[in-house]
Amino acid sequence: MLKEAIYHQSDSTYSYPLDEKTLCIKLRTKKDDLKRVILCYGDRYEPVPRVTMFEKEMNKVFTDDLFDYYEIQISPSFNRICYYFKLEDEKETIYYAQQRFYKEPPEDRNRYFIFAYICRGDLYKAHSWWRDSIFYQIFVDRFNKEELDEAWFDEPTNKRMFGGNLRGIIDRLDYIEELGVNAIYLTPIFESPSCHKYDTIDYYDIDKSFGNKNIFKELVEKCHKRGIRVILDAVFNHTSSEFFAFKDAMKKGKKSKYFDWYFINEDGTYEMFGQSKNMPKLNTTNDEVKKYLLNIAKYWIEEFDIDGWRLDVANEIDHKFWREFREAVKSVKEDAIIIGEVWDGAESYLRGDQYDSSMNYPFMHAALEVFARGNMKLKELDAYMQNLYARYRRDIRYNLLNLIDSHDTARFLYECKNDKEKLKLAAFYMFTTIGIPMIFYGDEAGLSGANDPHCRITMDFQNIDKELFSFYKNLTRVRKEVKALKVGEYRKCYVDEDVYAFSRFVDDEEVLCIFSLSNKEKSFEIGLKGEYMDILNNKTVKVEGKLDIEPYGKMVLKIR
Ligand code: ARE
């Protein structure tokens, strides 16, 4: 047994409450090293010299390149818990408690791991509508407007405004609903001089080129009537340099009551987003700034009933601010979703006290390497994804917002050199793996384009790629139909150079998701016999231990 690989940490993503009665415990070991892992747990206040220990075998839930991850949920009748692990391999059985190994079960309860108390105040609640969602990201200036002119179809630039607006979105709700998405995330809509509106001038008003508050209210109401949620972009890292507080601070210097709202140096320079002078960075440790921003966060929920916030540049703002932000948002709408924009691991924000979700760019990077560029093998994808999921609490990993492109990246189709088969495979994986899928407007219609500004191309509703649209529509249907895709466990079943099969399962439902990267028909061993319904293609499939899959095939077999 490789002891160096064994890891557990109490009160962390390795040990946390799922509800007032349930604790989830995780343990990492070397890959393929152990035969059995048993959690031994008891009441740490039991008034006898030796605690009565209960035993429960843990399940191996993820395996990456180097490690296995075991997980178990326990609901003891006591909530002050002490525990250790019993580890068995072919040769020996040892015990692991508080970073030490023992040959016999340790007797001294002070040596055990403890979960001191399941505190109500630390509980985290994920809401089912999040996992039932399929997101659609809209870059407002480029989606739709009432009357299209020829200029609408010009190549996008950084500066040019095309005039897309909120009314344009309302006019296309039928399209959005038909696609099957049920949540829209709008890039910023508040008053701002730019086409992207990430430089806010007034957080309390809708930019005039997009519409006004009445039209926004109408949009939210009409979306809600159709069961579509609305998420807005919270740009709280910086304001526009034209924002009243910044202007005042620059004009009056230290005499300005807004001076401390920003980070302004003696020589008049200041902190900003990236190199963007028009985006001075806000000081979110200043009480007035905090109050100001938290009121905005509540205002749009209370007055317009929006369903959540996507947080811009989320990882350049302090954790302390986000904790208060969470409290503020949840105080007015408990099931509002908070999604941070973090391009790499977001573990420190996703422990239940800050965001509910993050834009899963690590997923996008893997999807690009596997499907678009062919630089990553399916075996590596499997290990990479299992590692990614193992890093998050189980009640949070299902909230991750999966994407394959956005307004900040090249379009996926462009990355595939416009090979639609590759885009479809990536989309299929996005819809069947753990996490919430998000479609960047127009991907379903065949839009292509390099990074910003080219990815922010206008929609052409007269020239929708119908075949691609129905492919996406089918994906949204399956995703909505199959509970296991929303909250099911993930297990690799088969992988080779071309074919990847993994199961998603929950309670009494299990589906086998399979895809092939090959342009030839393939046959592979899957260890199943019988007739199964392929829910994606609506036909029954005969399996005799071996399964045939078409070139670029994709299947969702209902096996339970
Ligand atoms: C504009 C031009 C660009 C030009 C840039 C430089 O369009 O072509 O390169 O100016 O001056 C908004 C607009 C952009 C605009 C930008 C600056 O949408 O069009 O760019 O403002 O004026 C990092 C951040 C991440 C950020 C991305 C862009 O971590 O938060 O960079 N994304 C958000 C929004 C953007 C928005 C802003 C922030 C600013 O989604 O749309 O830009 O409010 C790695 C790193 C990431 C990095 C990522 C992309 O993977 O790990 O940290 O993201 O690359 O660079």
Domains of the chain, each with CATH number or no CATH: 3-122 (2.60.40.10), 128-237+282-481 (3.20.20.80), 489-558 (2.60.40.1180)
Q: What is the pLDDT of residue 88?
A: 98
* Catalytic residue numbers, as ranges: 312, 341
Q: How far apart are CA 526 and CA 494, in angstroms?
A: 7
Sheet strands (E) in 322-480: 337-340, 357-360, 401-402, 436-440
Q: What is the pLDDT of residue 290?
A: 98
Q: How far apart are CA 406 and CA 438, in angstroms?
A: 9
Q: What is the pLDDT of residue 175?
A: 98
Q: How do residues 338-377 score in pLDDT, each as one tens digit? A: 999 999 989 999 999 999 999 999 999 999 999 999 999 9
Tell me the Cα Rg of the chain: 26
Q: Can you give the pTM of this predicted structure?
A: 0.98
Q: How far apart are CA 529 and CA 10, in angstroms?
A: 43
With cut-offs at 50, 70 and 90, classify the pLDDT of residue 243: very high
- Mean per-residue pLDDT, 462-491: 98
- Mean per-residue pLDDT, 16-25: 97
On whether the CB atoms of residues 499 and 516 are closer than 8 A, the answer is yes
Q: How do residues 153-201 score in pLDDT, each as one tens digit? A: 999 999 999 999 999 999 999 999 999 999 999 999 999 999 999 999 9
For residue 196, report the distance from its CA to the centre of ligand 1, in Å: 11
* Top mutation candidate among 159, 192, 196 for ligand 1, by most atoms within 8 Å of CB: 196
* Residue 361 alpha carbon, nearest atom of ligand 1: 50
For residue 306, report the distance from its CA to the centre of ligand 1, in Å: 25
Neighbouring CB atoms inside 10 A of 3's CB total 13
The percent of residues above 70 in pLDDT, for the chain, comes to 100
> Hey, is 34 helix, strand or coil?
coil
- Mean per-residue pLDDT, 225-240: 98
- Mean per-residue pLDDT, 252-267: 97
With cut-offs at 50, 70 and 90, classify the pLDDT of residue 233: very high
Evaluate if residue 240 carries a pLDDT over 90: yes
Could you tell me if the CB of 233 is within 6 A of ligand 1? Answer: no
Neighbouring CB atoms inside 10 A of 417's CB total 10
Side-by-side strand order, sheet with 522-534: 489-495, 499-506, 509-516, 554-558, 522-534, 539-549
Q: What is the pLDDT of residue 49?
A: 85
Q: What is the pLDDT of residue 345?
A: 87
Q: How do residues 123-136 score in pLDDT, each as one tens digit? A: 999 999 999 999 99
For residue 92, report the distance from its CA to the centre of ligand 1, in Å: 54
How remote is the C-alpha of 210 from its chain's centroid?
28
Q: How far apart are CA 456 and CA 154, in angstroms?
A: 11
